[in-house]
């Protein structure tokens, strides 16, 4: 998987450097907007702790796509193995199976709301059977806003040293996970600047989700450098129907696959049915062998394909060189008849 999103310690700004230099032992929560470097800092801290000899670390996130994404940032370091990066679902199933000798869910079953509630009860029982209270030297959690306080309490109670990060604005499951700082007394840190979102794209995002004040908008807090990172663009293509949208999409993809050699392109859909329809449209086209369709939120991100079709839910937290939103007229009336790229 492409790792161009990953940055080294030398590329961090003063606020990020301050966080990365916190003692290895401690209980921290980091919040900040999309593109502020939270995930990078989380993984750099995980590497730092592992480099101090504390190899028994656990890195948790929400989806398989994000798991693969995080593993790509740790690849080749020799400090943290791939199986130490897990989804909360995967970790819960394994933890319950190991200490209670029971299955949380049957293979292939959905990790739905009822299962999540049942998992919390079983995790509490499993934690009572542990040979020691702290079974991990450190625990790191990305996208904490997508978990609940109860879920995080079950997880974070297994180590004296924890670090969680998230952004309430990026929460799409209406969870209370970021309240864990007050619940467990975590030391809070906040980033205010972001570097990944270009000004033009930030303007669009601010229109979709109005900021509390102009000073707090994504546009105002953007440190994106177009001279280094390229000129950002966001265009709405108004089309008569899905056929015209797809035709325009293919036209743009043909150019981008050449212009962005080796880099990945995302196509996001608001509904699974729209994503499935789009995947079918690519069958038999020149792009077919380069397309990966993520049928569910749990699909991984290990494919070498350069074009990835997924729902907006599945796409959260991952990065692409270019992104297209297909069929979004069903989600946002303001885009009626449009395809945003």
Question: Tokens representing 163?
Answer: 């670090």
| pLDDT confidence of residue 72 | 78
| pLDDT confidence of residue 152 | 97
Q: Where are the domains of the chain?
A: 9-190, 202-231, 235-340
Residue the block writes with tokens 């997924």: 310
Q: At 231, is the pLDDT very low, low, confident or very high (cuts 50, 70, 90)?
A: confident
The phi and psi torsions of 96 (rounded to 5 degrees) equal -65, -45
Neighbours of 324 (CB within 10 A): 24
| pLDDT confidence of residue 5 | 47
The structure's pTM equals: 0.78
DSSP 252-313: HHHHHHHHTTT--EEEEESSHHHHHHHHHHHTTSTTGGGEEE--STT--S----SEEEEEHH
Q: At 283, is the pLDDT very low, low, confident or very high (cuts 50, 70, 90)?
A: very high
What percentage of residues in the chain have a pLDDT greater than 70? 89
Q: What CATH code is assigned to 9-190?
A: 3.40.50.300
Residue closest to 314 by CA, chosen among 323, 197, 241: 323
DSSP 47-101: HHHHHTT---EEEEESSHHHHHHHHHHHTT-SSS-GGGEEEHHHHHHHHHHHHH-
Q: Is 179 exposed, middle or buried (0-12, 13-18, 19+ CB in 10 A)?
A: middle
Looking at 185-229, list the stretches that DSSP marks H as alpha helix, in order from N- to C-terminal side: 199-208, 226-229
Ranges 135-144, 227-236, 297-306, most confident = 135-144
Mean pLDDT of the chain: 87
Those residues whose C-beta lies under 8 Å from the C-beta of residue 208, and which sit 6 or more positions away, are: 332
| pLDDT confidence of residue 3 | 46
Q: What is the mean pLDDT of residues 243-260?
A: 96
Contact call for residues 111 and 90 (beta carbons, < 8 A): no
Per residue in 129-164, pLDDT (tens digit) is 999 989 999 999 999 999 999 999 999 999 999 999
What whole-number distance in Å separates Cα of residue 337 and Cα of residue 127?
52
């Amino acid at each position: 998987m492409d790792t161009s999103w990953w940055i080294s310690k030398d590329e961090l700004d003063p606020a990020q450097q301050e966080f990365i230099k916190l003692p290895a032992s401690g209980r921290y929560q980091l919040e900040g907007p999309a593109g502020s470097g939270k995930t990078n800092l989380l993984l750099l801290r995980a590497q730092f702790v592992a480099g101090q000899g504390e190899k028994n670390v656990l890195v948790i996130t929400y989806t398989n796509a994000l798991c693969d994404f995080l593993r790509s940032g740790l690849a080749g370091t020799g400090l943290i193995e791939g199986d130490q990066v897990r989804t909360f679902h995967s970790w819960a199933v394994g933890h319950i199976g190991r200490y209670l000798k029971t299955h949380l869910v049957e293979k292939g079953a959905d990790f739905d709301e009822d299962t999540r509630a049942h998992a919390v009860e079983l995790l509490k029982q499993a934690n009572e059977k542990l040979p020691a209270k702290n079974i991990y030297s450190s625990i790191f959690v990305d996208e904490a806003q997508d978990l609940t306080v109860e879920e995080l309490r079950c997880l974070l109670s297994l180590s004296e040293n924890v670090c969680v990060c998230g952004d309430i604005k990026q929460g799409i499951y209406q969870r209370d996970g970021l309240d864990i700082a007050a619940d467990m007394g975590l030391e809070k840190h906040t980033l205010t600047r972001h570097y990944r979102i270009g000004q033009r794209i930030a303007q669009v995002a601010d229109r979709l989700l109005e900021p509390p004040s102009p000073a707090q908008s994504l546009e105002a807090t953007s440190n994106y450098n177009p001279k280094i990172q390229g000129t950002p663009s966001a265009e709405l293509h108004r089309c008569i129907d899905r056929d015209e949208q797809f035709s325009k999409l293919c036209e743009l993809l043909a150019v981008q696959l050449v212009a962005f050699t080796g880099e990945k392109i995302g196509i996001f859909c608001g509904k699974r049915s729209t994503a499935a329809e789009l995947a079918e449209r690519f069958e038999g086209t020149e792009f077919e062998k380069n397309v990966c369709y993520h049928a569910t939120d749990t699909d991984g991100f290990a494919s070498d394909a350069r074009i990835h079709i997924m729902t907006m839910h599945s796409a959260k937290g991952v990065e692409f060189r270019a992104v297209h939103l297909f069929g979004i007229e069903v989600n946002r009336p303001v885009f009626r008849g449009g395809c945003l790229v």
